[in-house]
């Protein structure tokens, strides 16, 4: 990857977002120039001396709405209309690994972080390309969701990680990941599964696939609909699903 991936975040909490870009693996990507962050404080574009950015919703109701004018000025200041704009919101489409992959192929991103009840819909209509939810719960503001999206996207850029580990990890093949072990061989009388010490590559690959199927059948059976299974795999996942639903009936869960 030649030039860095530009990520612009519009926020009312610039310190929170700046800290994220300074930290850990993301911080290293920024130091290398692989990731080029820009954090814009929406309040700098407020129209009054109190730096007001929110107001009561038309039609009544609880909470406050981010006003169109400061947001539009902030977006124009970064030439957002020429870029791909993402708005994290609990009302958006579920954000998935395939979306992260698609966004990682853009030249860069602009993320708009909302606060309070949301942002003026006219901003969404005029500027936003994608609205994404990171899960079925409501956060107090969009910054954490924006950071989740950024994290999932930037690491997929070419050269960010060994392509092998990207290829093997959860969701790339539609299944959850298999369990991992490292030294020591025995920890508090729990031993590493024998097959992983066998040096027998084909057996290891088979064991890992089986573990992926077991985990996925237990934790995310919905994902199995999109995965091609052979006869033995289908039987294995069905037996786990049957057992899980029996357990639920017996515990009243």
Chain residues that interact with ligand ADE, rule: CB under 6 A? 88-90, 133-135, 137-139, 142, 145
In the bound complex, what is the minimum distance in angstroms from residue 158's beta carbon to ligand ADE? 27
Helix (H) or strand (E) holding 125: helix 121-127
Helix (H) or strand (E) holding 118: strand 118-119
In the bound complex, what is the minimum distance in angstroms from residue 77's beta carbon to ligand ADE? 23
Q: Identify the residue whose tokens are 């001396």.
A: 49
Other CB atoms within a 10 A radius of the CB of residue 6 amount to 16
Complex with ligand ADE: residue 145 or 150, whichever CB lies closer: 145
Complex with ligand ADE: residue 62 or 138, whichever CB lies closer: 138
In the bound complex, what is the minimum distance in angstroms from residue 66's beta carbon to ligand ADE? 12
In the bound complex, what is the minimum distance in angstroms from residue 155's beta carbon to ligand ADE? 19
Region of 232 please: left (phi>0), alpha (psi -120 to 50) or beta.
alpha
Complex with ligand ADE: residue 151 or 210, whichever CB lies closer: 151
Complex with ligand ADE: residue 70 or 142, whichever CB lies closer: 142
In the bound complex, what is the minimum distance in angstroms from residue 32's beta carbon to ligand ADE? 28
CA distance 5 to 197: 40
b/e per residue 40-51 (b: at least 16 CB within 10 A) = bbbbebbeeeee
Q: 102 in helix, strand or coil?
A: helix
Complex with ligand ADE: residue 171 or 192, whichever CB lies closer: 171
């Amino acid at each position: 990857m030649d030039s860095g991936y530009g990520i612009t975040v519009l926020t009312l909490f610039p310190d929170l977002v700046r800290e994220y870009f300074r930290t850990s693996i993301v911080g290293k990507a920024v130091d290398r120039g692989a990731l080029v962050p820009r954090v814009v404080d929406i309040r700098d574009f407020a129209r009054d001396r109190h730096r007001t950015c929110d107001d009561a919703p038309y039609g009544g109701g609880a909470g406050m709405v981010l006003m169109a004018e400061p947001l539009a000025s902030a977006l124009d200041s970064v030439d957002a209309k020429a870029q791909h704009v993402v708005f994290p919101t609990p009302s958006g489409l579920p954000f998935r690994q395939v979306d992260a992959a698609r966004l990682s192929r853009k030249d860069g991103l602009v993320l708009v972080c909302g606060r309070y009840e949301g942002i003026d819909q006219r901003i969404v209509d005029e500027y936003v390309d994608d609205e994404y939810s990171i899960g079925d719960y409501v956060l107090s503001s969009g910054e954490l969701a924006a950071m989740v999206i950024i994290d999932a996207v930037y690491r997929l850029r070419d050269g960010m990680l060994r392509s092998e580990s990207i290829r093997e990890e959860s969701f790339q093949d539609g299944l959850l990941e298999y369990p991992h072990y490292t030294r020591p061989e025995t920890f508090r009388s729990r031993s590493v599964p024998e097959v992983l010490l066998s040096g027998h590559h084909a057996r290891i690959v088979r064991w890992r696939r089986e573990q992926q199927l077991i985990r996925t059948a237990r934790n995310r059976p919905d994902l199995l609909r999109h995965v091609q299974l052979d006869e033995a795999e289908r039987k294995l996942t069905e037996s786990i699903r049957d057992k899980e639903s029996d357990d639920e009936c017996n515990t009243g869960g």
